[in-house]
A and B are shown apart, each in its own frame.
Chain A
Amino acid sequence: MNKFLLLFFLPLSLFAHLNIAVSYPYIGALTKTIGGDHIETVVLAKGNWDPHFIIPRPSLISKVRNADALIMNGGQLEIGWLPPLLNRAGNPKIEPNAKTFLNLSHHIELINKPANVDRSGGDIHPDGNPHFHLSPQNILLLANTIKDFLISIDTEHKAVYEKNHSEFLSMWNQKMKLWSEKMASKKGLKVIQFHDNLAYFNNAYGLLNIGTIEPLPGIPPSSKHTIEMIELIKKEQPCCILHDVYHSTKTAEFISQKTGIKVVLMPHDIEALENINDLGSLFDHLTSAIK
């Protein structure tokens, strides 16, 4: 009988990997860096697509159904696609409030929290701007949060997670110095964006966002607003249009033609552009993009 029990539990202990589902690639990279060999990450959304609009494909249901834990961005970024997946998965481990569920936005101070929430103002995020991972300082906070989370669900490997975390910390601190040096000359530059994706990046390096190509969050460009933007650009002389990779650059190109300012593609996540395959290269690219 005991032998039988042993046989039954043996495979479980052999494959004691934690299988962690994460919503976006940057969370996957960070979790894998800290978790190392003790975890597997499954990324739900692709990095080159609009993080607000992910199709809740049935294949994603299987991914969360088989997960031991879930880490999400939060701040309502996943509101349009993650709830129906959780609802169908039949997996209490990935339900909000489970101790194996982590909402990263609860551990970051969100900026631009709107005083008034009304849909006449477009697709507003009521909790503030959720694109907080685009500040290198926040990455440190997130790494720390994920480390604590992994320890809380897998205390056995505490030492490993702490070691991986401190290695990441020293690497990231060095990188941050380099990035700050690179961006020092850019401080005070005015920029235009399509959607205010880079609010935290701009804050970190003192860039000033003076307008967005979309008239209101989530509302596609209108000709009236585009004309206003052209007027604004002529008056304020921003350096460039910082553009995400998933919206069409058609309107930006038009504005660029009329005003002569450059359109710069800014990746928002790993895999957003071809050569961006980890967090380091994401910020390497972002901090070198503005010439």
Chain B
Amino acid sequence: MKKILLASTLCAVLVYGDAAALLPVEKRTFDQSKYIPDISAILDFSYVNNSVKDDEIAHLELPGVAHGLLGEHSHGDSNHATYNAKNGFNLNYAEVVLSSSVDPFLSMDAVFHFSEHGVEVEEAYFTTTALGHGIRARGGKLNSNFGYLNAQHHHYWDFGDMPLVYEAFLGMHGINELGGQIQWTAPTPFYLMAGFEVLQGTNEQMFGNESVDIEEFSGVEEDKIKGTSAPSLYVGYVKASHDIGDTTIAGGVSYAQGDSMIDHSDDHEGPHVFNGDAKLYGADFVVLHSLDSYSSIKWQSEWLGRELDGIQYNLETFINPNMNKKQSGLYSQLIYTHDKNWKMGVRYDTIYKNDVVANGVNKNMTDDFNKYSAMVEYHTSEFARFRLQYNRNEAMYNEDGNRVDIDTIMLQANISIGAHAAHSF
């Protein structure tokens, strides 16, 4: 009996399966294939040759600004690496992007970052489409619209690495947070947009609100540096743009303010935690002149300045000074797009101000951080580009405080397939 039942079920499945395969899509009763969202996959793969060995590069720092900026770092179980971290080959990511309208009122986008170590939800948010009056709201995990570069994905950048000042202040993901965003485009003849964001505030280089456990250092049970409650990061910006003939001029000012908890309690040497307030100022300026349909010159610059004010808890010495840091830097890049195939550009990076004051005493930190980059790109089509980039990094210092200059040659392939939405300006 059982056998008969099994056989008949099997037959039914086969017959049904067969029928489904034979029926054209529009005649399948419960077919939903037309609702498949736009799906795209983007691969970023690079070959890197650094003049400094991987072990050494991971220990270099920007004194007073950022630790372990380059290379690969392990924190317990998790592995953290910047783009193009290692000598030799790097799979920076295989990114999967899904997007679609949800209903007449919303759309949704999700960006998954697959690496060799796992998957990260890079972005996943819904966007309103029906509010009107130039208003758009967004909620979920998102790239803040602070500045110009922050909202753009890595695969759209003109260089394979992040500008020094961005990576030093905010880390390789920039301001990428859980939260809500509201933007308003003004009813003006020229472009004017203002936006405001409320974010969780968990940027490991600058913002944070989670308590840090220091029991293992103080020996006191349940000893903690107390955090604050989330959300604790607020971002606002105003952007404007105007065209003069074939030239577009765009500029913006941005401001971010939040609680800061920078946790370096895992560091082998001088473990410490910074807790206080953080403010970030930004100004961006872009000029794009089109020569024809395919050729253009783009000059893009951003300035970032930040102030950190709070207490640095040194977990070995238990000397906990009041710390005030005022730091600023900028990048400026010039990109020439020759035609559909060729693009080239140069970039200058600097952090020129690094005032670190502990208990009212200026620590006279170095403010000599510079980086120079040049690149040339070949596009086989809009969907594939190969980039050769050279970096001269004169910004990194070793544990003895001596500058270690790094020359890097990078050959990067950025390939995309599927249905990927066009990028905004």
Binding site for B on A (CB under 8 A): 49-50, 53, 55-59, 61-62, 65-66, 79-85, 87-93, 95, 97, 119, 122-123, 218-220, 246-248
B184 touches A90 (CB 8 A): yes
A84 touches B136 (CB 8 A): no
B136 touches A62 (CB 8 A): no
**A92 CB contact (under 8 Å) in B131, B188, B250, B293:** B131
Proximity bits, B186-197, A CB within 8 Å = 1, else 0: 111111110000
A90 touches B383 (CB 8 A): no
**A90 CB contact (under 8 Å) in B135, B288, B340, B422:** B135
Docked complex Cα distance between A93 and B243 (Å)? 25
**B383 CB contact (under 8 Å) in A65, A91, A119:** A119
Docked complex Cα distance between A59 and B290 (Å)? 14
B362 to chain A, nearest CB (A): 42
A90 touches B133 (CB 8 A): yes
B30 on interface, CB distance cutoff 8 Å: no
Docked complex Cα distance between A278 and B130 (Å)? 36
A65 touches B241 (CB 8 A): no
Closest to A216 in B: B381
B187 touches A65 (CB 8 A): yes
Docked complex Cα distance between A83 and B290 (Å)? 21
Which residues of chain B in 158-216 are interfacial with respect to chain A, using CB atoms and an 8 Å cutoff? Answer: 183-193
Closest to B243 in A: A59
Binding site for A on B (CB under 8 A): 104, 107, 127, 129-136, 183-193, 239, 241-243, 248, 250, 288, 290, 292-294, 296, 339-341, 381-383, 417, 421-425
Contacts of A84 in B (CB 8 A): 421-425
B242 touches A90 (CB 8 A): no
Contacts of A85 in B (CB 8 A): 424
Closest to A80 in B: B422
Contacts of B417 in A (CB 8 A): 119
A220 touches B250 (CB 8 A): no
B187 touches A49 (CB 8 A): no
A65 touches B134 (CB 8 A): yes
Docked complex Cα distance between A119 and B416 (Å)? 11
Closest to A84 in B: B424
On whether A87 and B424 interact (CB within 8 A), knowing A57-B241, A220-B339, the answer reads yes
Top 3 closest A-B pairs, CB basis? A58-B241, A50-B293, A84-B424
Closest to B240 in A: A58
B190 touches A90 (CB 8 A): no
Contacts of A219 in B (CB 8 A): 381
Closest to A64 in B: B185
On whether A53 and B185 interact (CB within 8 A), knowing A59-B190, A92-B132, the answer reads no
A57 touches B187 (CB 8 A): no
Q: List 22 A-B contacts (CB under 8 A).
A: A49-B293, A56-B424, A56-B425, A57-B248, A58-B250, A62-B192, A65-B185, A79-B422, A80-B382, A84-B424, A85-B424, A87-B107, A88-B424, A90-B133, A90-B183, A90-B184, A95-B129, A119-B381, A119-B383, A122-B381, A218-B381, A220-B341
Docked complex Cα distance between A248 and B187 (Å)? 38
A83 touches B421 (CB 8 A): yes
Docked complex Cα distance between A84 and B421 (Å)? 8
Closest to A51 in B: B293
User: Known contacts A57-B241, A84-B425; can you find 20 more A-B pairs with CB under 8 A?
Assistant: A49-B293, A53-B293, A55-B288, A58-B239, A58-B241, A61-B191, A61-B193, A62-B185, A62-B186, A81-B422, A83-B422, A88-B424, A90-B131, A90-B136, A91-B132, A93-B132, A97-B104, A119-B383, A123-B381, A218-B382
Closest to A86 in B: B129
On whether A57 and B425 interact (CB within 8 A), knowing A90-B185, A220-B341, the answer reads yes
B65 to chain A, nearest CB (A): 32
B424 touches A66 (CB 8 A): no
On whether A220 and B340 interact (CB within 8 A), knowing A49-B292, A246-B292, the answer reads yes
B386 to chain A, nearest CB (A): 16
A88 touches B185 (CB 8 A): yes
Docked complex Cα distance between A5 and B188 (Å)? 25
B134 touches A91 (CB 8 A): yes
Contacts of B135 in A (CB 8 A): 90
Contacts of B189 in A (CB 8 A): 62, 66
